[in-house]
Structure 1
């Protein structure tokens, strides 16, 4: 085998790699996309070229001889992005580990080093390939020196190869004449001036005729066109300077030793460690005999769909398959495009643009999305349903949502982005949206991304959904969560979408009145607080409030912070009774929060056209499986205080409709009785006894009929506290009793309900042994805290282990009820609709003609959501405002 030298333009290829791959980082936050892309390019080049020797040249930051001749040289270049600059030392470390020679020379550019090395290789009769994205290097091409330029077109990278004859064919000039061409036309990227008014076409004609700038100048009288002749005559010195700046030096004082370039053992232990650290999973497969690694890097064929013909062809292909994954890439209301994958090796990105806008693309795909026979997978179906509604599409057979699937498999993660799924299931690195676009003020649009980078990113979205589907489905089956996912979590998406779509009506006049009422109460409280403090101050300032309470009024200091006295809610709670100002401050805080969050805050969310608030309902937030409400949070309205409850008065039904509110009665305690198999509790619930009065009787040794309201209230705190794994300290705080008394309450509770104690202990034991807890419907919650050496962490884990099976089962039950109620209303073609869920409560906006029917369906569906040993009980109320239903 004959020798073949491969020379790499380091800066150029790093730059191309950086923009060619999405911005990736390893788990330590080190950016790696340029390094990975660079390695992929050069390793492929080594293989394709059958190279035996390799060298990489880099630019140094110091000025070169060109800067000395022309200070403005490269003066208009933007600085290297920080994310790329950080990767330059890394690639050099990697190359050193791979024993690949690196060349850098002060006063010269990488081009000059490459030119010199290529020239010396030619002298000793060795064929050479120079790999660079810079066409300036075409001047180096000869019969034995090939210039290879990577070129990206329509999503795929090809290599343009130029020997001497190829340059002449492509540009009409020889490689040496290419320098003169640059001298005449200049180069804006390097800030080489050239001759004003002479562009590429004119320059090619002149050099093709006269072969050099000097010869053209000698024939200035015959030179055409006349304007070019005039400009060359006036700017001849500039032309010669430009030619000099464009000329690559081929005789630098580079220490050349061909043997030092020999490719030998690039996959060594040092390289392996670096690749492992950088998390280059696929590249690790190249290391034979070293530690095996299950990670893979992507080799995905990308297709850009930007013509109607190509889209028609893709639609035809989709009609022939059984399933495909899609992802609709949006930015606000702007649809960027649609990513589609129907096999593991390739993906398509339909780019929305003027010639093929979002409405057109969705119209072309309408039959595909509405096909019963074609199974579809996506990520974030609920958001898709809003989009489909916009384009009048009624989707069918969307069988899997990887967003909800990933949450179901592991509900304790902070995020469930496609990048998380790529890493967790496929061991593929993909940037998150924030990594790709940036955050805050520096965030850019998808449309501002380099086209190849967007194509790569977009194609990966659907490909990852497609490829992770089988793995995620297998995990769901392995964990016994088939029913939970396919019969609860997936159908729930439609229910939550419907709730978001309908929203809930707000009476703006009532909301204004409520805000005014709050303001009056806040102003009055403010005056009373100032009077009690005997001065005015900023009540909202913890620092100023601390001075008033602990210095002026001499109240006992409970807790200090770095900046002074703590005035947190728990501190005020401990100070209750010490001074009348404390209650006033607590009430002031509650009312100001009510005003800012709800009285004032809700106005921003009221729809101008329908006067309704369309909250977002999230099913992937809480580890227990509970649904969350955001923007605004309608589940967090403070109902313990009357003014908090009054906010519900502003929520009203549509004309001819009425609110029906159905609330599970003590669902968690009923589930505890069932799960613990406690006969006393089961019988009490099934016989309709007052469970809190029963507990008070049992715990405080008082006859059932003689339990006082305070004893019942305390027993209620014990009942619910037990569900949450409450300790004596917390219970004593809640009930304002001593820790000893609280401990006695808990011990007496467990004496009377021994099965509950056994059950809770078993919950902890099970979770410690398995590392997770389970609900009735096999919802799994990992509890790594149980294995912690930290006592506080471990105690937290034990509380979670006790609570999750109960609270998580309650969440499962309410979800089943929501699905069944919603389906019943639809199947009976009723106008009534489910519009809100708050923990154990469902709110229906019922048509007046359907009230009795809806009440009947609510009770039937909610009380029979699951079959357990305890009767489920639902309280149903109607009203003309949400407030009236409670």
Structure 2
């Protein structure tokens, strides 16, 4: 067997001029307790040995060496496997995809064996890469970064950090593999012996972290969330990212032309109202025009740092009625953002091989348990204004397919009713009433049929505002009413929904006692600021104490639905693919002949994801693009 002394080359002087002596010794002494030698899988005997060991142990960690971090374009350069702290193997590749697919054939069986648990860090990335190489990873998954996210949502989850915290081990950093001068760092620039230790160490760290994090998950009563929700969700997200989203480039071009024309008109109107031409993209210049030249009244001071007025969106929104130029500036900025973030960015994000955009869904970013999306962020496309609606037209389907959108209706309000066990709100949901109309009737002491559109709007603002612990001042601003009227609406609201007030008070009390709050499924949100002496900081934490269990439970519910839908689609051998999640909304590409069965399946799985005191309701729409599906 070829045994590689992992650290012989890596730590010799000419390679590591950037590592201080004491740092180097620390790393080496740490590793004496672990392993120094990885077996290189370079003959049939070792191949048979590792495959047999994996079959016997029913679990292994694996770490990939790739030439870049674009999951849909990277080339596989090697795989490190670890079975325990003294058993590490490395399989290297040629970077010729066809040759490497053959090399992988021997390992296909263990990766696709449902009885063998796969452990790692960033498993979703690994699964997508292997899928491109013809291997469909199956079986239970355990991703250390996700396990740690469940335990400590607001801390870092990078492997080096976890190795430091849990193993007191100083891991090799990616940047340390390169000279300081190296730009566009890639493992492809290095000789194999330089990066093999780095990849093998990653697999080794993962096997050690696994035992520790698994135990912590159990102690914190997170087993259900970990093994039934978050870990199975990895496969769902990997499949969504791999499938990608089709973009209608023709529609995209037309929207871009239309928006540039709109910008030119807005520009002329803004100059006209300002009485001069100026750089609309300069916040400094905009501030001078608004507050010096046009003398618009606002509570705004010049910042000490750069001596300019704030022209943030929040500020401009709050003074929108004071001059017609402000609404035009807001519209101008909205169009600019849409162009730069999406419309002009999309063409470069389209994968040349698949012709699609492959966004990345992040499972370990938000403090509340929600997913986030990046490259591009598909969860942030504005939906309320006409521009955002136009934007949704570009997400299309092929001939013979439908774009299907399924949206939870008022899921956070339903969860609040369940958590608070408020009989009035539970009854309104159970009897299928319009919740905002029902709230208006209660708050304004009127029969349902006497509620007008303005009352319903106010009740809707109250319903959603109260979930977020809105203040009297905040509600008055949103409703455009006096503070006295806002106060009487809040008082009346809490009188009619007394259990909701009790729930909110109890949430704050429990947070003060425990320094955290929990969702129904024990997802924690730590709130140390709840005992802060600073009133602003404390109030913010109190709002989170009310909202985090609601928003976090909503995030858990849709994740449960996603896992169940994914399994149901597989069970029924359907070709339908889930492609985008936007918080309370799931989007699918559905072949025409599957439309009826999928509409029923998705609605059933979303509405039956959990058994709460109030029914969950999912609205389904479909069409030839994302806009039509709404």
1:304 Cα deviation after fit: 4.9
CA contact (8 A) 1:306 1:352 kept: no
- The residue aligned with 1:198 is none
CA contact (8 A) 1:22 1:453 kept: no
CA distance in 2: counterparts of 1:542 and 1:380, whole angstroms: 39
Q: Quick one: which of 64, 76, 80 aligns to 1:335? A: 76
Listed as ranges, the matches of 1:398-547 within 5 Å are 398-413=140-155, 415-434=156-175, 437=178, 442=183, 444-446=185-187, 454-547=195-288
- The residue aligned with 1:127 is none
CA distance in 1: counterparts of 2:596 and 2:181, whole angstroms: 51
Classify 1:404/1:867 alpha carbon distance in 2 versus 1 (closer, same or farther; 3 Å). same
- The residue aligned with 2:36 is 301
- The residue aligned with 1:123 is none
CA distance in 1: counterparts of 2:345 and 2:196, whole angstroms: 40
- The residue aligned with 2:394 is 650
CA distance in 2: counterparts of 1:631 and 1:834, whole angstroms: 18
1:875 aligns with 2:619: yes
1:346 Cα deviation after fit: 4.2
Q: Quick one: which of 724, 727, 731 aligns to 2:475? A: 731
1:796 aligns with 2:540: yes
Listed as ranges, the matches of 1:119-138 within 5 Å are none
Q: CA RMSD in A?
A: 2.7
CA distance in 2: counterparts of 1:859 and 1:661, whole angstroms: 10
Listed as ranges, the matches of 1:9-48 within 5 Å are 34-38=21-25
1:837 Cα deviation after fit: 1.3
1:589 aligns with 2:333: yes
CA contact (8 A) 1:664 1:872 kept: yes
Q: Quick one: which of 128, 131, 141 aligns to 1:389? A: 131
Secondary structure at 2:77's aligned position in 1? Answer: strand
CA distance in 1: counterparts of 2:546 and 2:16, whole angstroms: 46
CA contact (8 A) 1:437 1:446 kept: no
Aligned length: 612
Higher CA-based Rg: 1
CA distance in 2: counterparts of 1:355 and 1:568, whole angstroms: 51
Secondary structure at 1:349's aligned position in 2? Answer: strand
CA distance in 1: counterparts of 2:137 and 2:123, whole angstroms: 10
CA distance in 2: counterparts of 1:444 and 1:879, whole angstroms: 44
1:610 Cα deviation after fit: 4.2
CA distance in 1: counterparts of 2:132 and 2:292, whole angstroms: 61
1:615 Cα deviation after fit: 1.3
Classify 1:298/1:804 alpha carbon distance in 2 versus 1 (closer, same or farther; 3 Å). farther
CA contact (8 A) 1:322 1:374 kept: yes
Classify 1:16/1:477 alpha carbon distance in 2 versus 1 (closer, same or farther; 3 Å). closer
CA contact (8 A) 2:63 2:203 kept: yes
CA contact (8 A) 2:403 2:626 kept: yes
Secondary structure at 1:885's aligned position in 2? Answer: coil
Classify 1:601/1:321 alpha carbon distance in 2 versus 1 (closer, same or farther; 3 Å). same
1:683 Cα deviation after fit: 0.2
CA distance in 1: counterparts of 2:427 and 2:384, whole angstroms: 30
Secondary structure at 1:487's aligned position in 2? Answer: helix
Classify 1:375/1:499 alpha carbon distance in 2 versus 1 (closer, same or farther; 3 Å). closer
Secondary structure at 1:404's aligned position in 2? Answer: helix
CA distance in 2: counterparts of 1:862 and 1:711, whole angstroms: 31
- The residue aligned with 1:365 is 107
Q: Quick one: which of 372, 375, 379 aligns to 1:635? A: 379
- The residue aligned with 1:347 is 88
Cα deviation, 1:641-673, whole Å, max 9, x if unaligned, reads 112111111111221011221111100000100
- The residue aligned with 1:768 is 512
1:799 Cα deviation after fit: 1.4
Classify 1:321/1:703 alpha carbon distance in 2 versus 1 (closer, same or farther; 3 Å). closer
Listed as ranges, the matches of 1:814-829 within 5 Å are 814-829=558-573
CA contact (8 A) 1:301 1:347 kept: no
Secondary structure at 2:345's aligned position in 1? Answer: helix
Question: Structure 2: where are the runs of 5+ without partners?
Answer: 1-7, 69-73
Q: Quick one: which of 541, 549, 554 aligns to 2:290? A: 549
Cα deviation, 1:259-301, whole Å, max 9, x if unaligned, reads xxxxxxxxxxxxxxxxxxxxxxx6xxxxxxxxxxxxx985423
Cα deviation, 1:573-605, whole Å, max 9, x if unaligned, reads 232222111111111111121222222222222
* Most deviating of 798-807 and 339-348: 339-348
Question: Structure 1: where are the runs of 5+ without partners?
Answer: 1-12, 24-30, 45-281, 283-295
- The residue aligned with 2:5 is none
Q: Which has the higher contact order (CA 8 A, sep 6+)?
A: 2
1:439 Cα deviation after fit: 8.7
1:376 aligns with 2:118: yes
Listed as ranges, the matches of 1:542-581 within 5 Å are 542-559=283-300, 560-562=302-304, 563-581=307-325
Cα deviation, 1:1-44, whole Å, max 9, x if unaligned, reads xxxxxxxxxxxx9x957678898xxxxxxx7x530434788xx9
CA distance in 1: counterparts of 2:591 and 2:192, whole angstroms: 52
CA contact (8 A) 2:120 2:206 kept: yes
CA contact (8 A) 1:667 1:872 kept: yes
CA distance in 1: counterparts of 2:365 and 2:179, whole angstroms: 23
CA contact (8 A) 1:626 1:811 kept: yes
CA contact (8 A) 1:648 1:882 kept: yes
